[in-house]
Amino acid sequence: MSVEHVNVGEDVALVDLIDRLIGGGVVLTGDIVLSIADVDLVYLGLRLVLAPAHVVEDSVRLSRPPRRLEE
Amino acid sequence: MVVLYAIVPADQAATTPDGLRALARGSVAALYDEREEAHSTSRQDLLDFGRVVNDISDAGPALPVRFGTVVESLDALGALLESREEEWRERLATVAGHVEIVVHAQDAAAPAPSPAAPGSGREYLMSRAAARRHSEAMHDDLTAALRAHCRETRRLQASEEIRVACLVPAGETAAFRSAVESWAGAQPGRRVTTTGPWPPYSFTEKET
């Protein structure tokens, strides 16, 4: 068994907070609601910072387009 | 433009944090800020928004509004409040006196999907199905164990673990965490992390 209670401010808590700020809360839709672009990028950036190094490397590798030999 | 922070009971609008205003319709009110430009989307802005929502929740029942929600005018906001007053009044009554705690659970003994390899499609799909069944069973077992300690639960997205948001009475978080520890201790290999208490971000809508 392993139990860990994380205080607000630590990494897992920070990811949960940001996830809930962006993915939780009251959702309003309709013409009168203006949404803000690029919110997902904030989230993605934090995920990358907090992810283990090998995961970041993998995701960077996967997202990088294949190089052409002449480049 | 009108930047929204939270929905609160109308009689709580008087305790609005500095810098915010309130617009009430019937029994509910929206806490908002009028700006020329919307939030920027830096991490600091996001965390500042979270801090304000936290202060609002500390003052009384509140339904946080998703970061980045902006309406074009106060007239539009008033119409929104009127159209959803009943729904928000019910939700405010549900979350009153509660906090959100998020439980992350992993099981070292869980079957892992085998890596895809050429010619092993069936085996790969079967291993994924087994992992999914195990994950569902663990989620059901966890929520059953915690049911007595939380009013509602919501399963949150997670890739390699179970993540469950629990609406816990504010004065009973220690008992809740003890129940989490008991669940983790019931089988070897279970690893559990909890975060919070948070404002009730995951409980702003009725469970479907």
Q: What is the pLDDT of residues B65-99, one digit of tens each?
A: 988 888 888 998 999 999 999 999 999 999 999 99
Inform me whether the C-beta atom of residue A29 falls under 8 Å from chain B C-beta atoms: no
Confidence class of residue A4 from pLDDT cuts 50, 70 and 90? low
ipTM: 0.85
Inform me whether the C-beta atom of residue B38 falls under 8 Å from chain A C-beta atoms: yes
Task: Judge: B184–A42 Cβ closer than 8 Å, yes or no.
Answer: no
B122 CA: distance to closest CA in chain A (Å): 24
Residue A47 has pLDDT above 50, yes or no: no
Residue A18's pLDDT is what? 86
Q: What is the pTM of this model?
A: 0.81
Please give the span between the terminal C-alpha atoms of chain A, in angstroms, as a whole number: 52
Burial A48-60 (b: 16+ CB within 10 A, else e): eeeeeeeeeeeee
- Residues of chain B in contact with residue A39, where contact means CB-CB under 8 angstroms, are 41, 67-68
How much is the mean pLDDT over chain B? 89
Residue B86's pLDDT is what? 96
Residue B145 has pLDDT above 80, yes or no: yes
What whole-number distance in Å separates Cα of residue B191 and Cα of residue B89? Answer: 37
How much is the mean pLDDT over chain A? 56
Residue B20's pLDDT is what? 92
Confidence class of residue B47 from pLDDT cuts 50, 70 and 90? confident
What is residue B142's DSSP assignment?
H
Closest partner residue to B46 (CB to CB) among A12, A24, A42 is A42
Tokens read off for B188:
């070897």
What is residue B190's DSSP assignment?
E
Confidence class of residue A25 from pLDDT cuts 50, 70 and 90? very high
What whole-number distance in Å separates Cα of residue A15 and Cα of residue A22? Answer: 11
Inform me whether the C-beta atom of residue B79 falls under 8 Å from chain A C-beta atoms: yes
Task: Judge: A24–B184 Cβ closer than 8 Å, yes or no.
Answer: no
Inform me whether the C-beta atom of residue B145 falls under 8 Å from chain A C-beta atoms: no
Residue A60's pLDDT is what? 35
A54 CA: distance to closest CA in chain B (Å): 15
Q: Please, what is the Cα angle at B67 between B14 and B11, to 5 degrees?
A: 15
- Residues of chain B in contact with residue A35, where contact means CB-CB under 8 angstroms, are 68-70
The pLDDT > 90 percentage for chain A reads: 3
Tokens read off for B179:
């129940």
Inform me whether the C-beta atom of residue B62 falls under 8 Å from chain A C-beta atoms: no
